[in-house]
Structure 1
Amino acid sequence: MDFFAQQRIRTRRSRLLYGLFFLIVLAHIAVALGVVWLLLTIFTGGIYYWALVLVVVWIIASFVAGSFVEYRRLRAGGRAIAQRVGAVRLFVDSSQDAWEHSQGVAQQHTAAKKVRFSDRQIAVRDERDFPPVYRRYYEIAQQLAIASGLDMPILYVLPDEQGINGFVAGRHSQDMVLVVTQGALDKLSDEALYGLIGHEYGHILHGDATFNLQLMVVLAGLQILYDWSDPISHNSNRLISDNRYAGSIDSSVSQSALMPQRSIDSHARRTEAQTAIIDAVSVAPAESSYH
């Protein structure tokens, strides 16, 4: 297989998404015009072209407004994405402010802890002060950035995610971020972590991170129609729950649609742990009977 030829093909296909998004916008306009035309014909017996123009303006304005709002949300680039998913930044504080606290009126100062934890960042004075798991992550990311000739991205970690994954996002090198899950840092060997981070650096080199951010802005224009229909879907779910046959539907499905993603992940991890316990119990009698 010619890797670079396949890469060019995939790149062209990805860029076709832009055209497809705008074709979908035109399809929405065509469908809306058809529905309004039919309703006017049935209920008024005539066609009011000003109404058709208003429909076109309303749909185009909706897509533009949705994309503009998303663009404003993503002004910080990759950092906005990292904060949206609840990632915690690894921050080396190189400011001149002393890390110390006062003791009494005499203003006697003692050195503060070398690592400061918060919901938004893990801050240190020197990269060597990071806890070992994060220091390894920082050093590997730094080494690969030097080897690839890239500016080192801003490093984030998803502390509550035990799956093995990572992604990069950003508009340019100044706001490019690398986000890696805690599971990847805990479970991967050095070689595997090099591979994961190197793979994400490849997305930066080939412009995938910037391209994906642009697609998010365009997609937001389509998403706004779903957001408007969301109350309708909730009402529909409420009507279904009142139906006498609704008892046969698994209630966990309807509940999961309203749960935040972090709750869904936590529930999945609990289910996985319970399954492991059940498997261990079921295997034990089989082994004893075999012996």
Structure 2
Amino acid sequence: MRDELGDLSTFLVVAEERSFSRAAARLGTSQSAISNAVRRLETHLDIKLLARTTRSVSPTEAGEQLLGTLRPALGDIRQQLASLAQLRERPSGMVRITTSRHAAQTVLWPAVDAVLARYPEIQIELSIDGALTNIVADRFDAGVRLGESLEKDMIAVRIGPDLRMAVIGAPDYLAKHAPPKTPRDLIAHRCINLRMATRGNLYAWEFEKAGQTLNVRVEGSVIVNDSALAIEAALAGHGLACVIEDDDLRAHLASGRLVRLLADWCPPFAGHHLYYPDRRNLSPAFRVLLEELRARARQEGSQRREQTRTRM
């Protein structure tokens, strides 16, 4: 079938040029190769397609009928091939990513917004899910999770800075309850529990100081599965919460609506990573988003280093 398509294309060029030599020059091959291709096609169809004289070549009646079909058909093929080349040069298509809400809001969305502004042909689906999704089975291109939650057989690219947990409480609550001085003091407090989507159990608050690690299981009247709700519950005075520090939380702390506790027990840990199964055959659309995320991570890292030098 491949040889037939090649022979048909060669026949069309010979018919358009009305010359075997000009057709050979146009296709960048030898005149004998052109003659063999046309002869092979005529033998296969068992009909003469070109009338040959010493000075000219012209289609026979059968050849004209075949040309009437070939011209639009091969024209459509060339147009489609050109469109495919444009797709390669101009990224388009769907990119599906599973992510936590925190990663989507703080890291992913700014990059997605920038990519879509430059490449409107790209579609990006963000699926918010706290569980560890099987991206291969569920047909996601990639996932975003904390560095400590990544599967070992995945390629991981860091796209966000180190993060810290923060134990927080409202001033009204702390006016009635003595602030904890160590993580063990949390046992005497009402705390807002966070149910983990990955395993379904309640999150044991994790602490570390001077090489000592400590996990504390807390009690309280509120259980949520979303950090934003935990912050709202803390603002309402329902107890202490332990959540990832971000810009929204820092705004509450700066305004005095919330107070941070046990900061010296909450060291930084690995932030958000993009993970995917294979370096090969990445779509142009995915590569564009990946490079945008990498560039933003590099820029943020440079800004943080500059801020550190300035403070010193």
Higher helix share: 1
Give the structure, 1 or 2, with the largest relative contact order (CA under 8 Å, sep 6 or more).
Answer: 2
- TM-score under structure 2 normalisation? 0.20
Structure possessing the higher radius of gyration over alpha carbons: 2
- TM-score under structure 1 normalisation? 0.22
Higher strand share: 2
